[in-house]
A and B are shown apart, each in its own frame.
Chain A
Amino acid sequence: MKNLALSKTHEALGGKMVDYAGFYMPVQYEGVKVEHKAVREAVGVFDVSHMGEIFISGKEASIFLQYITSNDVKKLTPGSIQYSCLPNLENGIVDDILVYMLAEELYLLVVNASNLDKDYKWLSDNNSFDCLIENKSSEYSLLAVQGPDTIELLSKLTNENLEEIKYYNFIKGNLSEIDDVIISRTGYTGEFGFELYVKNNDAIKLWNSLFSTSVTIKPIGLAARDTLRLEKGFCLYGNDINDKTSPLEANLGWITKLNTNFINSDNLQKQKVEGLNKLLVGFEVLDKGVARNGYNILDLNNNHIGNVTSGTMSPTLNKAIGMAYINIAFLNSGKRDFLVQVRNKKILARLISLPFVK
């Protein structure tokens, strides 16, 4: 298990530490409900330094990325960011990623920690282009500052005009007296916020500065990160998407630009034409109980129609919510109610549209 630059800091703050994707990370500090609320109503900071950073550079960097990612890389301009995925050859997803255009011929891919080695190999194996792939994950720390009070807090630490940075755009600037911080208007909570990339030796300085202003900020653990993202219907790799789930079935059609001729786009086009077998949908639990990853879903006649991929008790709504792959036949029937097998009992659930929390 590897330490992050801030692992000891989290420990000292009383964070409950776990092994997550091979890193020693805080799953919670005060409690998931309190932390969740802090992000929705004020501001919180997540240490997500486990995320991987892979740099792609060279003359054919953009051609390579157009081939290897599902979204349209041509839409990027320096300073903009794209959510995308790395499709595999079996109609599945190698990883879901962010693509940063740092400059002409220079891009940064931010990838899931658990997939870093797989991604690097996949990228390298498919690199028949004039470009260089460098994994610099161990050099960077990443802090996500999220919540409605984010601007008020960060504006005390920088002279950059943060309000001008649009969603899915970034600048490189000075923040907390650290130069060249990537200040990225992104996040995994659905709240207003920024993600801040710094070199590891600046991580403690940045963390401490976030707690030095008059704006109250709470440290937030992985548990609240999960409830926050699920309330917004954001996919989690390993739960909702994986090597076997199609981006089309995962409702990621909006980042799957089939006309950009990427790896496996022909097969996905075929899948689209022939029709999908299942779709990732949102549901709420009507009975008492919580539906969780892997639980079976049955129609009211007890026929198996799908599986839960993510489920939790929503701290905002105070009810159990989840996402699941459900057969198209059931979804097309117009029925909305179904059963979730929770160990020895079946509880009633109902389809609802995503996101759960607007």
Chain B
Amino acid sequence: MSFPLELKYTKDHEWLRIEGGFAYVGITYFAQGELGDIVYVDVDTEGEDLESEAVFGSVEAVKTVSDLFMPLNGKVIEFNELLEDSPELINSDPYGDGWIIKVSIDDVTALDHLLSSEDYQKLVD
């Protein structure tokens, strides 16, 4: 199991890498392990302003499908095009090339509500 210290986490098993006014969002190592082999990532909310907890897409594993939730209020700026042809990147590199969307951050105070690496680790242990 891996929980990079520099990332923020949500109870929905997503991670955020904050870069300036933006965040890259993906699902955690734990989440990809629970889902199994990812076969398709469906994100059709690019360009949309969404509220925290809104569904921004879904990931299809061989056996199951799981919704993806906005970790905070913001706009979906970009969908990771690599996932169009290689959804398995979420399994092989969940914190790197397996990122799913880039979002703009409307309100930086929202970041305070996210989990630290330590908090998230406690959640899944």
Contact = CB atoms under 8 A, between A and B. Distances in A.
Q: Which of B33, B37, B58, B65 is the most central at the interface, judged by chain A CB atoms within 10 Å of its CB?
A: B37
Nearest to A33: B37
B40 A289 contact: yes
Q: Which of A32, A33, A226, A313 is the most central at the interface, judged by chain B CB atoms within 10 Å of its CB?
A: A313
Interface string A16-37: 1000000000011001110000
Interface in B28-53: 33, 36-37, 39-40, 42, 44
A333 B91 CA distance: 43
Interface in B60-78: 60, 62-63, 65
A51 interface: no
Contacts of B60: 289-290, 313
B77 to A, nearest CB: 22
Interface of chain A, helix or strand or loop or mixed? mixed
A307 interface: no
B67 to A, nearest CB: 9
A31 B37 contact: yes
Contacts of B65: 290, 292
A227 interface: yes
A288 interface: yes
Contact of B63 (A32, A343, A345): A32
Nearest to B41: A288
A290 to B, nearest CB: 5
Nearest to B84: A288
A32 B62 CA distance: 8
Contacts of B40: 288-290, 313, 320
B42 A223 contact: no
Interface residues of B, number: 13
A315 interface: yes
A290 B37 contact: no
B36 A28 contact: yes
B37 A343 contact: no
A31 B39 contact: no
A24 B10 CA distance: 29
Given A223-B63, A289-B42, A343 B58 contact: yes
B63 A226 contact: yes
A223 to B, nearest CB: 5
Interface in A307-337: 312-313, 315, 320
Nearest to A226: B63
Interface string A216-234: 0000000100110000000
Contacts of B58: 343
A33 B60 CA distance: 14
Contact of A32 (B37, B42, B44): B37
A227 B42 CA distance: 21
30 contacts: A16-B33, A27-B63, A28-B36, A31-B36, A31-B37, A31-B91, A32-B37, A32-B62, A32-B63, A33-B37, A223-B36, A223-B62, A226-B63, A227-B62, A288-B42, A289-B40, A289-B60, A290-B39, A290-B60, A292-B65, A312-B62, A312-B63, A313-B39, A313-B40, A313-B60, A313-B62, A315-B62, A320-B40, A343-B58, A345-B44
Which 9 residue pairs are nearest across A and B when measured between Cβ atoms? A313-B39, A290-B60, A32-B62, A33-B37, A223-B63, A31-B37, A32-B37, A313-B62, A32-B36
Interface of A: 16, 27-28, 31-33, 223, 226-227, 288-290, 292, 312-313, 315, 320, 343, 345
Given A31-B36, A312-B62, 8 more contacts: A28-B36, A33-B37, A33-B62, A223-B36, A289-B60, A290-B39, A315-B62, A345-B44
